[in-house]
Amino acid sequence: MTARILVVDDIEANVRLLEAKLSAEYYEVLIAYDGPTALAIAAKEKPDIVLLDVMMPGMDGFQVCRRLKDDPETRHVPVVLVTALDGRADRIAGLEAGADEFLTKPIDDVMLFARVRSLTRLKMVIDELRDREASGRRMGVIAGAASRLGGTGGRVLIVDDHERQAQRVAAELAIEHRPIIESDPEKALMTAKGPVDLVIVNAAARSFDGLRFTAQLRSDEATRHLPVLAIVDFDERQRLVKALEIGVNDILTKPIDPQELSARAKTQIRRKRYTDYLRDNLDHSLELAVTDQLTGLHNRRYMVGQLEALVKRASLGGDPVACLLIDIDHFKKINDGYGHDVGDEVLREFAVRLASNVRAIDLPCRYGGEEFVVVMPDTKIEDAERIAERIRLHVAGSPFRVMNGSELLTVTISIGVAATLGAGDRPEPLLKRADEAVYEAKASGRNKVIARAA
């Protein structure tokens, strides 16, 4: 797993040392010797990680980090602050500025690369979600802005069998969050599948293996995206590195500093809400891409893709495909006489009746306006004609209640039926035959089913 890493330090020897180490592990390295240059490179080159020195003249690392996190184009880029300072105040200041980690000089190579690999995995996930969301926006199926993406008010699950430690962590978090404590790992796994924003696990628990618990979270589809903050003894370097390798998002070393706990929890919750926002937008965009928003049926775009695949298979000797093209009779009169709101009610009610009268394998779609299509896999024309007649009778057999039930409308439909002819058939001629059958039904008095065999 490689990445583009921006190294920022005003001392050239430090930069060259880090560049050599990272290049030896096949990372691509970008270099900046001051804050303004780093910001310019980050904006232009979009690195995967920024290794940022704190003590720089002019604009220090804290200021650069805040600027990166304030910019919508770079706020998702992980920042690791690197400094010779080892003071609590500086570490917390860096975390509150938005940094993802705080490493002290001389840099521990094992910890550095464990951190880089962990943050690279995270960045790849966010990049993929951002790319898909951007595609949705270009297609016009995503709109709106993110809301409630802060790092406070989260539900935090504390998995720890050390009662006093768990209570102290919960008390600190309760200032801004809603913590719950669970000492039983099996119960904790079930709780984590609910509305949880962050899991804090004691990696050195005595009655269960905290790292195995984390691995179980990562292996379950329902919990694999949950951020995990592991509590680890500072001296347990092997356990600490292993935690990062199996997917822990962040490390909190003992003795636990309350402000550091708060800052790291806030960062993880904020990031989770951002990735949740991206995933929700992606799910919404996929739904919009294939669904007609008025009726809830599949839309024309989705229908065309499915029909092409089924007709191609039928033309190569597969099962026949039938198609119903349905037109609501005199729909313009409904819109003109009662208004478009009533017209929409009719369309929605018709969609319900249509969907309830086709088979599970059939694909009912809104083709456009008052036209609907039902794609029917593995169906001969005579079977499709029989199902079409059932739909027609169900629509005409009982009036449509509109305007909160104050009006009853008699609605009828005309249906054209066609099926694939064998080798060489294509979707366009199939739909054209069904369309011609609809016109024939309308011309002969409407409220009819006409099948067009060829």
> Which of the residues are catalytic?
370
Beta strands in 379-441 (DSSP E): 400-402, 407-409, 413-419
Q: What contacts 264, CB < 8 A, 6 or more positions away?
A: 95, 229, 250, 252
d(CA 435, CA 438): 5
Residue 99 phi, psi (nearest 5): -65, 150
Q: How buried is residue 169: exposed, middle or buried, by Cβ count under 10 Å (0-12/13-18/19+)? A: buried
Strands 371-377 and 101-104: unpaired
d(CA 283, CA 271): 18
| 220 touches 189 (CB < 8 A) | yes
H-helix or E-strand containing 356?
none
List, as own/partner pairs, every contact residues 160-169 make where C-beta atoms lie below 8 angstroms and the sequence separation is at least 24, other chains included.
160/200, 160/201, 160/202, 160/205, 160/231, 161/202, 161/205, 161/206, 161/207, 161/208, 162/202, 162/205, 162/206, 165/202, 165/231, 165/256, 166/202, 168/256, 169/200, 169/231, 169/256, 169/261
Query: What one-letter code names the amino acid at 31?
Result: I
Nearest to 53 by CA among 2, 93, 8: 8
**In the numeric block, which tokens belong to residue 108?**
């521990």
Strands 449-451 and 413-419: parallel
The residues that bridge with 52 in the sheet, in sequence order, are 8, 81
Buried b (16+ CB within 10 A) or exposed e, 369-387: ebbbbbbbbebebebbbeb
Residue 79 phi, psi (nearest 5): -120, 125
Query: What one-letter code names the amino acid at 214?
Result: T
d(CA 435, CA 330): 17
| 153 touches 273 (CB < 8 A) | no
Q: Is the peptide bond before 399 cis (omega within 30 degrees of 0)?
A: no
